[in-house]
Structure formats: C-alpha cells, structure tokens
C-alpha cells in the first residue's frame, strides 16, 4: 500500500467563475485511523454545483471550506484499514471523503454499497442528485398527467431524473439544455418530448418564444435548477396553480452579471397573481426517505427503465478543471472523477 496521498485544497476564494489557481494539489502522508474510524482509498469523487458556494465565505445552509482546507465532496472507495465494528477491509462505501485519494472517517456518515451496481451510480442517479429529483418532484412538483414540466440543466443528474419521473407520471416534458448535442440527448436518451437550446437565444424574450412553442398549453411545473435568463423566460408562461420547486440557480453561482436592471419584482408579481407555489428545498431535510428512494428507483435503474449519463474525468489532479467546466456546461451527465 502507498504511504502517500493527494488532495485538492482551496488556495483562495474565487471571484466569479473559479480558476485553476484557486485550487492546490497537495501530497502528504496517508493518515492512520483512530478508534471507531476507517481508512478509505477513494475510487470515485462526485463534482456538484453546490461546491462553488462552499468556496465562498458567505453564510449558507452548510459551512464554507477554509483556505487550505480540503475541498468538500462525496466519494466512493474501498476500506483499507478498519478500527470500527461492522466495517472490514475491502468494503465498498460512500462518505464525505472530500477531493482526496484517501480519507480517514468515522463510520456514522458511511454507507456500504451494493457491489452489483457500478460504484459511480451512488454519486449520481442513485445518490444525492437522484434523491433530490425524486423527493422534489413528489413533494413540491406534484406531477399531474396531461400537464407540462419545464426544466433546465436537463441532461444533468437532477434534470434527467426529474424528466424521466415526470414523463412516467404522464406529463409533457420540456428540456432546456446547452447546445444541440445535449438537446438531442434530452429527447433521445431521456425521453423529453421537446428540448430548447438556451445557448441559441441571447435574451429572455426570444428564449420565451421558443419555450412557448415547446409548451403550447403553458407550463404547470417549472423545476428551477438554473435561475437567470431561463427564470425570466418561463414565469410568464406559467399556468394558474403552477408549481416551482426551487432546487438550484446555477446561472448565478459565480455571481450576478448584466446591466444591473432588476427585473425580479415583475417576475415575482407573477408568482402572486398566478397563485404559484414556490418551494425552496435542501435535500438534507429529506434524507430519512433515502431508503424509500432506493427501493423504488434502484430496480428501475437496474432494468434500464430509468437511464443515466456520467461524464468521467480521470485523475484527482483534473478535478479542478472538470469542476470549472461543469459550472459552464462542459459536462454531459453526472460529473465524476475517477481516481
Ligand atoms: N436543493 C438541493 O438540495 C439540491 C441538490 C442537488 C442539486 N441541486 C441543484 O440542482 C441543479 C442541478 O444540479 P446537477 O447536480 O444535476 O448538476 P448538472 O446538471 O451537472 O449542473 C451543471 C449544468 O448546469 C447547466 N448550467 C450551467 N450554467 C448555466 C446557465 N447559465 N444557464 C443554464 N444552464 C446552466 C449546464 O447544463 P447545460 O449545458 O445544459 O446548460 C451544466 O452542464 C444545480 O443548480 C444544483 O445546485 C440542488
């Protein structure tokens, strides 16, 4: 076994979009687990949009990464050494490993994985993003057959799962995705009824015209992954009684640009007059339902009824570049790093 490990730390807080210089690749000695702890060799790391927020020093629902601290994240790996009951060397587990080749962790946040499934699925379709889609759609979207759903970042792990579940519930599903290839994937791989390329429209008004054609009966669920131009385009198309699960707003994660003209008051007036339900939600509040999610969705993933895409970067040293690309749409499917 190697006695050195690598990790990616936060070198400085980014302004806007992160750059490679905001991260440092460090080498150190592999730590020794204490009582009730295990040592894990990480094989797969998840890259997620929320990590951009952890790089800021702003108050949020979760703590920031300290300067010099290991970037936070979920990883899958095999236990090398165990000082904890119930876990033995060789066990495949998921936990908060951070962006690192090895991690010493207590076992309370660890979960053993089903060896029959590809390990990376625990980070995407059968992990936090899949669970977010399943929970948010049931709790806040409340799909109804014959109605229409619109979702951005539609080929990502949240969007692809929401689209497939809504379609299975009998909805018309409209994907918003970046570029013709992702639009093709949305329809051909994930079964969306229509796809609109947000990159083809410079402003909200022209994007709205394209969405109105794709959603001729109006929009009943707008699943908010994106914010920005898409939010402005969709809200006027919403039907009375529409639902807006507010899951994320990746267009604004690296800061807000534009001409400084605030259009939100007009948009949110639509929320009022159309009596829209708008629910912000953070998946951690629903984690007790994770076993229900797995028992319903894992068999459908195994049978192919629910499909998924992964975008695998190779090597921990390439995690920063893959993360920066993901924040701009460079990923196709769930972004994973294979170590
Ligand atoms: N509330 C919660 O508990 C929770 C949990 C998980 C995820 N989330 C949120 O859910 C959203 C999707 O997450 P995910 O894990 O499925 O990630 P993801 O789809 O892999 O996210 C990256 C994608 O966002 C899209 N994007 C980036 N900038 C954009 C912009 N300016 N306008 C439109 N689209 C843009 C890009 O897709 P295109 O190239 O197609 O534009 C990019 O590929 C994120 O906002 C995330 O923060 C929330």
Residue ranges per domain, the chain? 4-123+308-338, 128-283
- CATH number for the region 4-123+308-338 comes to 3.90.180.10
> What is the mean pLDDT of the segment spanning 139-151?
98
Q: Name residues contacting ligand 1 (CB within 6 A).
A: 48-50, 129, 132, 152-153, 155-159, 177-178, 182, 198, 225-226, 228, 230, 247-248, 250-251, 281-283, 326, 329, 331, 335
Q: Say if CB 97 and CB 105 are below 8 A apart.
A: yes
- The single residue listed with the structure tokens 């013709």 is 180
Q: Say if CB 103 and CB 97 are below 8 A apart.
A: yes
| Cα–ligand 1 centroid distance for 34 (angstroms) | 38
- The single residue listed with the structure tokens 């992160």 is 18
- pTM of the predicted model as reported, rounded to 2 decimal places: 0.94
If you average pLDDT over every residue of the chain, what do you get? 95
- The single residue listed with the structure tokens 């990464």 is 65
State phi, psi for 268 to the nearest 5 degrees: -75, -15
Q: Is the pLDDT of residue 235 over 70?
A: yes
In this structure, the number of other CB atoms found within 10 A of the CB of residue 295 comes to: 9
Q: What angle do CA 230, 138, 54 make, to 5 degrees?
A: 55
Q: Which residue has the higher pLDDT, 4 or 266?
A: 4
Q: Say if CB 154 and CB 234 are below 8 A apart.
A: no
Name the residue of 16, 153, 325 whose CB sits within 8 Å of the most ligand 1 atoms, as the mutation to test its pocket.
Answer: 153
| Cα–ligand 1 centroid distance for 333 (angstroms) | 10
Out of 3.40.50.720, 3.20.20.70, 1.10.760.10, 3.30.1360.200, the CATH code matching 128-283 is 3.40.50.720
Q: Is the pLDDT of residue 258 over 80?
A: no
Same topology between domain 4-123+308-338 and domain 128-283: no
């Amino acid at each position: 076994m190697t006695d050195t490990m690598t990790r990616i730390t936060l070198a400085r807080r980014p302004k806007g979009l992160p750059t490679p210089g905001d991260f440092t690749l460090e080498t150190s000695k592999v730590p020794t687990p204490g009582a009730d702890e295990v040592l894990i060799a990480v094989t797969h790391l998840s890259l997620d949009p929320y990590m951009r927020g952890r790089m800021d020093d702003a108050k949020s629902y979760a703590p920031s990464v300290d300067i010099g601290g290991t970037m936070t994240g979920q990883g899958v790996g095999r236990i090398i050494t165990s000082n904890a009951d119930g876990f033995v060397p060789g066990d495949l587990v998921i936990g908060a490993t951070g962006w690192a080749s090895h991690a010493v962790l207590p076992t309370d946040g660890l979960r053993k994985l089903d060896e029959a499934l590809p390990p990376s699925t625990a980070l995407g379709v059968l992990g936090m993003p899949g669970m977010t889609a399943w929970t948010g759609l049931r709790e806040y979207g409340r799909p109804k057959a014959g109605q229409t759903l619109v979702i951005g970042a539609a080929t990502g792990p949240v969007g692809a799962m929401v689209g497939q579940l809504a379609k299975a519930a009998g909805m018309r599903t409209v994907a918003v995705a970046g570029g013709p290839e992702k639009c093709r994937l949305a329809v051909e791989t994930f079964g969306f009824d229509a796809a609109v390329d947000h990159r083809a429209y410079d402003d909200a008004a022209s994007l709205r015209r394209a969405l109105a054609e794709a959603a001729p009966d109006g929009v009943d669920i707008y699943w908010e992954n994106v914010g920005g131009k898409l939010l402005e385009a969709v809200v006027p198309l919403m039907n009375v009684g529409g639902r807006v699960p507010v899951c994320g707003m990746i267009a604004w994660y690296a800061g807000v640009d534009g001409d400084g003209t605030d259009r939100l008051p007009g948009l949110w007036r639509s929320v009022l007059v159309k009596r829209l339900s708008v629910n912000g939600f953070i998946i951690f509040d629903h984690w007790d339902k994770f076993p229900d999610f797995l028992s319903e969705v894992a068999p459908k993933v195994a049978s192919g009824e629910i499909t998924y895409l992964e975008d695998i970067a190779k090597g921990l040293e390439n995690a920063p570049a893959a993360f920066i690309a993901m924040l701009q749409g460079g990923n196709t499917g769930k972004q994973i790093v294979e170590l």
